[in-house]
């Protein structure tokens, strides 16, 4: 039985989906004003592996992720500058161009780390109508008040506001009074905006409360319930979301529907830099998936490194640790080649061997069902590879396990790709050199139609075919 640590209850709970064998997952996605780095991708690798596990266990999964392209202030508490406008000023382009640029960078990062990606990638600016409708519902239910600046959620109407994150609101009130300027029209500092009136804002829409834009917290509740229903199974995010963003989402759920929207709230720890600090844009200590490629690292080694950490504990990143992951992944690939060597044949297995094979599969699943313990599952995999069960059965088990790990171990080396595929790959290489990302993506799709995928490395690119991998070009 799958058990997950639920932040809402502060306990490990058995997983019981709303609908039998169907799971709805919502993940807080990127704010696309700048590059997404491996600190961000740490979370998405973990949630991708979780979704893979759910599907491995026989569930039909619908994975939804938002893209914040409006309304996220530099502070999560409705203060500061809109991050999208900040990004536009930094690069001297429009906010829409910033959004398109960094959505493309995010999607490419997902592909480099072999993250299958969500079934729905929902942009906030494409769901304004849904956000307005949700705010109206909350208003109708009596959970709001209006100020000169906008429509505000009245947290005093929700008695359990502090419960989700165990907030000390009196302490927060004192800190807000002593340290920052409090909006004089807010009843308490932590009341938050559902809609901000701001006709001068670059991104703005008509609403019942005036021209402006939606609050950051509103978009996640609006889009998760649009695609997954008023009650769904799993909501994921980083630990930084607990105290403000997810606390406010919980409040919005009660304001609109009388209950939490998600039954299980999962939160990942942080990827820490080599100096022990959180990897972040503000500190300038981040590395992107694309930079890993430029430095000559296989991004799947980064995926392997991430899976060696439990999602709730986070990971201390170092280049030495990444080099170790590179060596381990190369070793795995060599083992795969040896296990599936020409002439490998199946033989009739003894009862002991059959029981041993089943034992490893059971232990693998057991580790994963224990709150997504991927490090333990990897340990089971390595133990299985050192066992005495037949090579061909090791091969089958390894590829079976990799349906969850997502390390692409089923790919084997071959000598050459068709000329037509190589020609397209060269066209894509030229397009990337000219920073023509649209053409690059179009050519990549043509390559995929021919049955190949393309990966970028420091030396150039690699072409891969189902069950095969082609040397660098």
pLDDT at site 416: 58
User: What is the reported pTM?
Assistant: 0.85
Mean pLDDT of 458-468: 61
β 3-6/150-153 pair status? unpaired
Binning pLDDT at 50, 70 and 90, where does residue 453 land? confident
Query: What is the pLDDT of the chain when averaged over all its residues?
Result: 89
Q: Are 382 and 308 in contact (CB under 8 A)?
A: no
467: tokens are: 């069950």
- Could you give the angle at which helices 83-91 and 95-112 cross, rounded to 10 degrees? 100
Of the candidates 104, 118, 97, 95, the one whose C-alpha atom is nearest the C-alpha of residue 43 is 118
pLDDT at site 20: 95
Binning pLDDT at 50, 70 and 90, where does residue 444 land? confident
Q: Could you tell me the residue ranges of all domains in the chain?
A: 15-272, 318-405, 413-470
Least confidently predicted of 87-101, 428-442, 448-462: 448-462
What kind of architecture, by CATH, is found in domain 15-272? 3-Layer(aba) Sandwich (3.40)
Q: What is the enclosing helix (H) or strand (E) of 455?
A: strand 452-457
Of the candidates 49, 99, 29, 22, the one whose C-alpha atom is nearest the C-alpha of residue 407 is 49
pLDDT at site 470: 37
- Could you give the angle at which helices 128-140 and 247-257 cross, rounded to 10 degrees? 70
Fold of 318-405: 1.20.120
Q: What is the distance between the alpha carbons of residues 258 and 256, in angstroms, rounded to a whole number?
A: 6
- Summarize pLDDT for 401-439 with one digit per residue, the tens: 999 999 988 754 434 567 677 778 888 888 887 878 888
- Summarize pLDDT for 23-66 with one digit per residue, the tens: 999 999 999 999 999 999 999 999 999 999 999 999 999 999 99
Percent of the chain with pLDDT over 70: 89
Of the candidates 340, 319, 373, 266, the one whose C-alpha atom is nearest the C-alpha of residue 27 is 266
Least confidently predicted of 50-54, 70-74, 226-230, 249-253: 70-74
Residue 177 has pLDDT above 60, yes or no: no
β 413-414/468-470 pair status? parallel
Q: What is the distance between the alpha carbons of residues 398 and 161, in angstroms, rounded to a whole number?
A: 46
267 forms beta bridges with 237
Q: Are 202 and 95 in contact (CB under 8 A)?
A: yes
Residue 473 has pLDDT above 50, yes or no: no
Instruction: Name the residue with higher pLDDT: 421 or 387.
Output: 387
Binning pLDDT at 50, 70 and 90, where does residue 172 land? confident
123 forms beta bridges with 67
Q: What is the enclosing helix (H) or strand (E) of 61?
A: strand 60-67
Q: What is the distance between the alpha carbons of residues 445 and 433, in angstroms, rounded to a whole number?
A: 18
pLDDT at site 181: 46
CA-only gyration radius of the chain, Å: 24
246: tokens are: 């997810």
Binning pLDDT at 50, 70 and 90, where does residue 180 land? very low
Q: Are 391 and 339 in contact (CB under 8 A)?
A: yes
- Summarize pLDDT for 340-363 with one digit per residue, the tens: 654 556 666 678 778 989 999 999
Question: Coil, strand or helix: which one is 393?
Answer: helix
Residue 440 has pLDDT above 50, yes or no: yes
Task: Kindly write down the DSSP assignment for every residue of 240-283, as one continuous string.
Answer: GGIIIIIHHHHHHHHHHHSS-SEEEEEEE-PEEPTTSSBP-TTT
- Could you give the angle at which helices 299-307 and 374-385 cross, rounded to 10 degrees? 100
Q: What is the distance between the alpha carbons of residues 424 and 452, in angstroms, rounded to a whole number?
A: 11
Q: How far, in Å, are 55, 95, 338, 467 from residue 117 at the CA level?
A: 14, 24, 31, 21
Q: What is the distance between the alpha carbons of residues 236 and 460, in angstroms, rounded to a whole number?
A: 35
């Amino acid at each position: 039985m799958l058990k997950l640590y639920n932040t809402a209850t502060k306990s490990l709970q058995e997983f019981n989906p709303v609908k039998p064998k169907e799971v709805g997952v919502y993940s807080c996605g990127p704010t696309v004003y700048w590059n997404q780095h491996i600190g961000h991708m740490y979370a998405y690798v973990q949630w991708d592996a979780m979704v893979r596990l759910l599907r491995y266990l026989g569930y039909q999964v619908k994975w939804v992720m938002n893209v914040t392209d409006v309304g996220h202030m530099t502070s999560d508490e409705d203060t500061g500058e809109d991050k999208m406008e900040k990004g536009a000023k930094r690069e001297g382009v429009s906010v829409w161009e910033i959004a398109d640029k960094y959505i493309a960078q995010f999607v490419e990062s997902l592909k480099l780390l072999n993250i299958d990606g969500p079934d729905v990638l929902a942009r906030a600016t494409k769901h304004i109508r849904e956000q307005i409708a949700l705010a109206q519902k909350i208003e109708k239910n009596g959970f709001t008040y209006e100020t000169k600046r906008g429509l505000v959620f009245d947290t005093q109407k929700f008695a359990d506001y502090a419960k989700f994150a165990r907030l000390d609101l009196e302490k927060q009130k004192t800190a807000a009074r002593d340290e920052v300027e409090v909006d004089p029209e807010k009843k308490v500092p932590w009341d938050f905006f559902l809609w901000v009136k701001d006709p001068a804002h670059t991104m703005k829409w008509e609403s019942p409360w005036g021209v402006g834009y939606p609050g950051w917290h509103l978009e996640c509740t609006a889009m998760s319930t649009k695609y997954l229903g008023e009650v769904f199974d799993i909501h994921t995010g980083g630990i930084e979301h607990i105290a403000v963003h997810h606390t406010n989402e919980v409040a919005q759920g009660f304001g609109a529907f009388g209950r939490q929207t998600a039954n299980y709230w999962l939160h990942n720890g942080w990827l820490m830099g080599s100096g022990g600090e959180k990897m972040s844009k503000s500190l300038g200590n981040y590395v992107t998936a694309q930079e890993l490629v430029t430095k000559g690292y296989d991004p799947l080694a980064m995926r392997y490194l991430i899976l060696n950490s439990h999602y709730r504990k986070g990971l201390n990143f170092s280049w030495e640790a990444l080099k170790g992951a590179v060596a381990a992944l190369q070793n795995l690939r060599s083992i795969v080649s040896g296990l599936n060597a020409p002439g490998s044949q199946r033989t009739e297995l003894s009862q002991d061997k059959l029981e041993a094979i089943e034992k490893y599969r059971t232990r693998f699943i057991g580790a994963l069902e224990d709150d997504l313990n991927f490090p333990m599952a990897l340990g089971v995999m390595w133990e299985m590879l050192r066992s005495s069960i037949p090579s061909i059965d090791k091969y089958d088990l390894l590829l079976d396990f990799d349906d969850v790990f997502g390390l692409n171990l089923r790919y084997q080396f071959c000598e050459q790709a068709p000329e037509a595929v190589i020609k397209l790959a060269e066209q894509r290489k030229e397009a990337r050199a000219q920073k023509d990302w649209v053409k690059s993506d179009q050519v990549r799709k043509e390559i995929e139609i021919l049955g190949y995928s393309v990966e970028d490395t420091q030396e150039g690119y690699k072409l891969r075919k189902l069950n095969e991998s082609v040397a660098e070009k």
